[in-house]
A and B are shown apart, each in its own frame.
Chain A
Amino acid sequence: MSTPLRIVREKLNITQTELANLMGTTQATVSRMEAGQWEPNASQVQAVLVKSNSLGVDLTVDDFVLPDTMPSAANGAPAATGDLHFDHEHLLGIQDLSPNEISFLLDLSDTYAERNRTADRKLSLLAGKTVINLFFEESTRTRTSFELAGKRLGADVINIAVASSSIKKGETVIDTAVTLNAMHADALVVRHPHAGAVQLLSEKVNCAVINGGDGSHEHPTQALLDALTIRRRKGHLQGLLVALCGDVAHSRVARSNIYLLQTMGARVRVIAPPTLIPSGMERLGVEVFHDMRAGLADCDIVMMLRLQRERMEGSFVPSVHEYFHFYGLDYEKLSHAKPDALIMHPGPMNRGVEIDSAVADDIDRSVIHEQVEMGVAVRMACLDVLTRTDKSNRNGGTAP
Chain B
Amino acid sequence: MTARVAYTNARVIDPASGLDNAPSDTGGLLSDGEFIQAIGPEIFSDGIPESAVQVDCRGTILAPGLVDIRADLCEPGAEHKEDLESGSRAAAAGGVTTVVALPNTDPVIDEVSVLEFIARRAREVKLIKVFAHATVTRGGNSDELVEMGLLKHAGAVTFTDGRRTIVNAKVLSRALKYAQAYDGVIMQHPEEPVLAQGGVMQTGELSTRLGLPGIPAEAEIIMLQRDLKLVEMTGGRYHASHISTAASVRAIADAKAAGLNVTCDTAPPYFALNELAVGEYRTFAKLSPPLRREDDRQAIVAGLADGTIDCIASDHAPQDQDSKRLPFEQAEFGAVGLETLLQLTLELRHNGHLNLPDALACITYRPADILGLPVGRLTVGGPADLVVFDPERPARIEPDRFVSKSKNSPFDGRLVQGQVLRTVVDGRTIFSAAA
Contact = CB atoms under 8 A, between A and B. Distances in A.
B327 A200 contact: yes
Interface residues of A, number: 27
Contacts of B207: 278-280
A217 B280 CA distance: 11
B328 A170 contact: no
B208 A171 contact: no
A164 to B, nearest CB: 12
A281 to B, nearest CB: 6
Contacts of A278: 207-208, 214
Contacts of B326: 169-171, 173-174, 200
Nearest to B322: A171
B211 A174 contact: no
A218 B329 CA distance: 15
B211 A169 contact: no
B281 interface: yes
A196 B205 contact: no
B208 A195 contact: no
B208 A281 contact: yes
Contact of B205 (A200, A216, A284): A284
A196 B209 contact: no
A255 interface: yes
Interface string A262-283: 0000000000000000111101
Contact of B280 (A170, A171, A196, A214): A196
B325 A313 contact: no
Interface string A358-372: 000000000000000
Given A171-B322, A199-B281, A284-B209, A279 B327 contact: no
A77 to B, nearest CB: 33
B327 A283 contact: no
A160 B198 CA distance: 28
A171 B214 CA distance: 23
B208 A280 contact: yes
Contacts of A170: 326-327, 330
Nearest to A194: B327
Interface centre among B206, B207, B209 (most CB of A within 10 A): B209
Contacts of A192: 327
Interface string A329-342: 00000000000000
B213 A313 contact: yes
B210 A280 contact: no
A215 interface: yes
- Dominant SS at the A interface? mixed
B325 A174 contact: yes
Contact of B211 (A195, A200, A280, A313): A195
Contacts of B216: 279
B204 interface: yes
Interface centre among A95, A174, A279 (most CB of B within 10 A): A279
B197 interface: yes
B203 interface: yes
Interface string A207-227: 000000011111000000000
A170 B327 CA distance: 7
A252 interface: yes
A241 interface: no
B208 A196 contact: no
Contacts of B206: 280
Nearest to B194: A314
A255 B203 CA distance: 16
A197 interface: yes
Contact of A200 (B198, B209, B214, B281): B281
A170 B323 CA distance: 10
Contact of A217 (B198, B204, B210, B330): B210
Contacts of B370: none
Nearest to A198: B327
B198 A313 contact: yes
A54 B198 CA distance: 62
9 contacts: A169-B330, A170-B327, A171-B322, A195-B211, A199-B280, A200-B281, A216-B212, A280-B208, A284-B208
Given A169-B326, A195-B281, A215-B211, 14 more contacts: A170-B326, A171-B326, A173-B326, A174-B326, A196-B328, A199-B280, A215-B329, A216-B211, A217-B210, A217-B211, A255-B211, A279-B208, A281-B208, A284-B208
Interface of B: 197-198, 203-214, 216, 280-281, 322, 325-330
Return the 9 tightest CB-CB contacts between A and B, nearest first: A280-B205, A217-B211, A196-B281, A216-B211, A197-B327, A194-B327, A195-B211, A170-B330, A278-B208
Interface of A: 95, 169-171, 173-174, 192, 194-197, 199-200, 214-218, 252, 255, 278-281, 283-284, 313
